[in-house]
Amino acid sequence: MVWLILLVPLSAMAAPYAALVMDARSGKVLHADNADTRLHPASLTKMMTLYIAFEAVQNGEITMDTKVRISRNAASEPPSKLGLREGQTIALRYLVRAAAVKSANDAATAIGESIAGSEAAFARRMNRTAKALGMTRTTFRNAHGLTEEGHLSTARDMSILGRHVIYDYPQYYNLFSRITADAGVRTVSHTNRRLLQSYKGADGIKTGYTRAAGFNLVASAERGRERVIATVFGGRSTASRNAKVAELLDLGFRRTSPNAPFREPGKPPYLGKGSDVVVAQSSNPAPGTRAKTIRVARAAVTSSLRPQARPIAVTAEDIAPLVAGVEDDIENMLKEVQTIASVEPAGAPPVTADTVGIAPSASVKPARRPEGVQLAAADLRETATPARAAEVVTRLSTSGGRHWGVNIGRYPSRFAAEKVLLKTALTETASLDGALRKVNKGNRGFDANFMGLTRDQADLACRRLQARQITCFMIGPS
């Protein structure tokens, strides 16, 4: 008897398959296949690592510019990796890019250690956060997703996590669609660039592969008002997995509607440093059940963590010339105004009580009557018409409301417009006293306006400004 032994590569062995399609806007499941089977998530795990990193930055535990020291544990992680060395320091933002785009294991471990102090402590936080998100059948053991006993999740739970990544931290979601990214020490390429470049509307999210897990992927695509998430566990290859995900995304777009309601998932309770929330859940709950959140009494938090201001690379030597320049501008402007005020320009209307607001009833002196115009003779003694009571005639005032203004030009920047307004106000204090300086941004520049004037005040101010060779025109009530 002859025995034949066939040696089959581990990579050719089929991993258990699971899939789920979800309408991202409402969270409605459109298709499911073994969606609650607990399987190895591989690098889909890094979605949770990055989610907690975004949460930590938002709550002031760490900043994107924080320099992270690489431990021996992080540096020794197997590929895929960025190639970090023990003792090296690198900004958190580069670790985030490497984990999101290249799926670097050393970067993911470094992120976890920088936030929680150790990878084990970070894994506990990952599990607390997972339960708070409603990921009821997920258990994390590490920050990167390499195969480890008990490190398991489901297609449903990973779809839920992907939806929260999209809507809870939209300011960071663009990371997952970058074909390449600067990771500090080098430029890295996206592990899912083939699907991103070939499927219309695809913009993320995360790939994963180990021999035990197979080829995994959580993908999202947006077309018009519709967004669909498709998750696959256990693909046989990158090409077959991508083809299956594309098929599932197509199915999702066929089954959803542009008018489907949008229900934002909402962020879970903050479970980081200083948090008083504990999430309790059985280790193996029934599919579809939700985590229970239990608040326990603890000592009150004595300090509030706030995000630190991002450092600006500007020194005192850089600021000094700017301050001096502004001071010089103000001094020169005041000297110029004093010079102008000392000599009244020829042809400028005289300053009257009306211009300084002393008597509301005062008016500008009317022009002199032309010579040769004779008044009609009026002799009351020869008038035969009986005396009549005085008749009062009224009309709607066009000058009482302070809804008029003066425009003195359009400028390329807000600063330039404000500077001209200040200079003009100091130059023509008599007629512009009490006016509001206002800059309006338009399609072609910034309009410099004085507002809050009556019609008479606006007319007088514009005539006086024109006498000073300052171009202006009146602005009526809108």
Catalytic residues: 43, 46, 103
CA 217/CA 430 separation, integer angstroms: 72
Q: Is beta strand 187-189 parallel, antiparallel or unpaired with respect to 180-182?
A: antiparallel
CA distance 177 to 303: 37
Main-chain phi, psi angles of 110, to 5 degrees: -65, -40
